[in-house]
């Protein structure tokens, strides 16, 4: 089974542009599909991961008005990898600027990994504009999740973690996050680019149930790794600029809305415990664990379930 049989056919954006949101950041945005259709917002992962043409393909273009954008410091947005003036609250404001610019009253919100974090934070800030949520690979950005990403993944990928740690001098390895932050946020390109590649390779090596060489290579590229490395470290260092467990504590603000949670059973980057906690706090959300999948949206079972969710919402306005 290939992605070509799981998802809708490739399509080009009907329009796209750049939106200056402050004196530093300019965001890339695009629309595809039916310009008169049901609006859906795609929120990419990372932070810093950016969008790709594949992301349009989770949605029936005859039905959905598909909105993608690259968050601050990510993808085609400029400056790439910029962590200053980059917080969750500002990202939420950016989403509202895009919604207002496009004249959209309400939309379905779709996000995976960090995209699920931002989807929940956005929904809790603006529940009145959300029709529902499609969430994948849940990350709540709690202290235990950050520690798991930086240290705990060595329990499953010891050789990958060893390479990640060995890029840091021995006397700094007791706090890998701080050691990487020191390098990622310095002013020397050769230092921060090497740190970004090491960080991004670490994540890319753990994305799929079975490692995908092309995914690892993509994550090592300069245009991907700078956004991933700098912004993931920035948001993890600052607990995503939220109170501890804020997204669970505030779930009542959106729990009246339809939602589906799709989680890979063997997701090492965002282990299932976070998705399960979210479902316990939000029992009306549909909860699907994919038994033969890791973290990536393009795991066949995950991609198929995400498309099934968007089709259910198209037909029923809810998830089954």
pLDDT digits (tens, 9 = 90+) for 86-144: 999 999 999 999 999 999 999 999 999 999 999 999 999 999 999 999 999 999 999 99
* The pLDDT of residue 242: 98
Range of the domain at 151: 144-240
Give dist(CA 97, CA 21) in Å, integer. Answer: 8
According to DSSP, the residues that pair with 199 across neighbouring strands are none
Give dist(CA 193, CA 221) in Å, integer. Answer: 10
> Cβ atoms within 10 A of the Cβ of 268, count?
21
Q: What residues are annotated to the active site?
A: 113, 267, 295
Compute the average pLDDT of residues 28-35: 98
Res 320 pLDDT > 80: yes
Task: Examine the fold and report which residue of 220, 240, 260 is the final residue of a domain before the chain moves on.
Answer: 240
297, 303, 305, 307 alpha-carbon torsion, rounded to 10°:
110
Question: For residue 189, with 0-12 CB atoms within 10 Å meaning exposed, 13-18 middle and 19 or more buried, which class applies?
Answer: exposed
Identify the DSSP state of 87. Answer: -
**Helix 143-150 × helix 176-184 angle, to 10°:** 80
Contact present, 215 and 296 (Cβ < 8 Å): yes
Give dist(CA 119, CA 48) in Å, integer. Answer: 15
* The pLDDT of residue 211: 85
Estimate to the nearest angstrom the gap between the alpha carbon of 230 and the chain centroid: 15
Same domain, 27 and 133: yes
Q: Are β-strands 26-33 and 286-290 bridged in parallel, bridged antiparallel, or unpaired?
A: unpaired
Q: What is the pLDDT of residues 192-214, one digit of tens each?
A: 999 999 999 999 999 999 989 99
Same domain, 131 and 172: no
Task: Examine the fold and report which residue of 240, 266, 281 is the final residue of a domain before the chain moves on.
Answer: 240
Contact present, 266 and 232 (Cβ < 8 Å): no
In degrees and rounded to multiples of 5, residue 19 shows phi and psi of -120, 115
Same domain, 270 and 298: yes
* The pLDDT of residue 2: 41
Same domain, 260 and 230: no
Same domain, 162 and 118: no
Percent of the chain with pLDDT over 70: 98
Same domain, 125 and 154: no
Residue 53: give its domain's CATH number: 3.40.50.1820
Compute the average pLDDT of residues 255-280: 98
| Residue tagged 């079972």 (tokens) | 301
Domain count, the chain: 2
Q: Which residues contact 245 (CB under 8 A, 6 or more apart)?
A: 140, 142
Where residue 4 falls among pLDDT bands split at 50, 70, 90?
low
Residue from 100, 37, 101, 110 nearest 68 by CA: 110
Of the CA atoms within 13 Å of residue 100, those in its CB half-sphere come to 9
Where residue 153 falls among pLDDT bands split at 50, 70, 90?
very high
Same domain, 247 and 227: no
Compute the average pLDDT of residues 72-81: 98
pTM over 0.95: yes
Q: Are β-strands 15-20 and 286-290 bridged in parallel, bridged antiparallel, or unpaired?
A: unpaired
């Amino acid at each position: 089974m290939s992605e070509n049989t799981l998802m809708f056919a490739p399509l080009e954006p009907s329009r796209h542009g750049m939106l200056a949101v402050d004196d530093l950041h300019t965001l890339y945005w695009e629309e595809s599909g039916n310009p008169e259709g049901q609006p859906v917002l795609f929120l990419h992962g990372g932070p810093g991961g950016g969008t790709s043409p594949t992301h349009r393909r989770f949605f029936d273009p005859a039905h959905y008005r598909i909105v993608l954008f690259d968050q601050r410091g990510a993808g085609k947005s400029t400056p790439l990898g910029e962590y200053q003036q980059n917080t969750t609250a500002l990202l939420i404001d950016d989403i509202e600027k895009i919604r207002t610019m496009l004249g959209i009253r309400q939309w379905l919100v779709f996000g995976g990994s960090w995209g699920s974090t931002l989807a929940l934070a956005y929904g809790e800030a603006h529940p009145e504009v959300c029709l529902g949520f499609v969430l994948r690979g849940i990350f709540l950005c709690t202290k235990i999740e950050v520690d798991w990403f930086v240290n705990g993944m060595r329990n499953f990928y010891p050789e990958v973690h060893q390479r990640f740690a060995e890029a840091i001098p021995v006397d700094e390895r007791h706090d890998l996050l701080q050691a990487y932050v020191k390098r990622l946020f310095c002013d020397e390109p050769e230092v921060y680019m090497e740190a970004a590649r090491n960080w991004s390779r670490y994540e890319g090596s753990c994305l799929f149930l079975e490692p995908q060489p092309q995914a690892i290579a993509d994550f090592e590229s300069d245009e991907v790794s700078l956004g991933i490395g700098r912004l993931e470290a920035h948001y993890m260092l600052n607990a995503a600029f939220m109170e501890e467990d804020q997204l669970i504590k505030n779930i009542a603000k959106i729990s009246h809305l339809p939602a589906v949670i799709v989680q890979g059973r063997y997701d090492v980057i965002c282990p299932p415990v976070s998705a399960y906690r979210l479902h316990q706090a939000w029992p009306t959300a549909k909860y699907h664990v994919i038994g033969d999948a890791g973290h990536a949206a393009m795991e066949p079972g995950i991609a198929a379930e995400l498309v099934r969710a968007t089709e259910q919402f198209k037909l029923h306005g809810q998830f089954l």
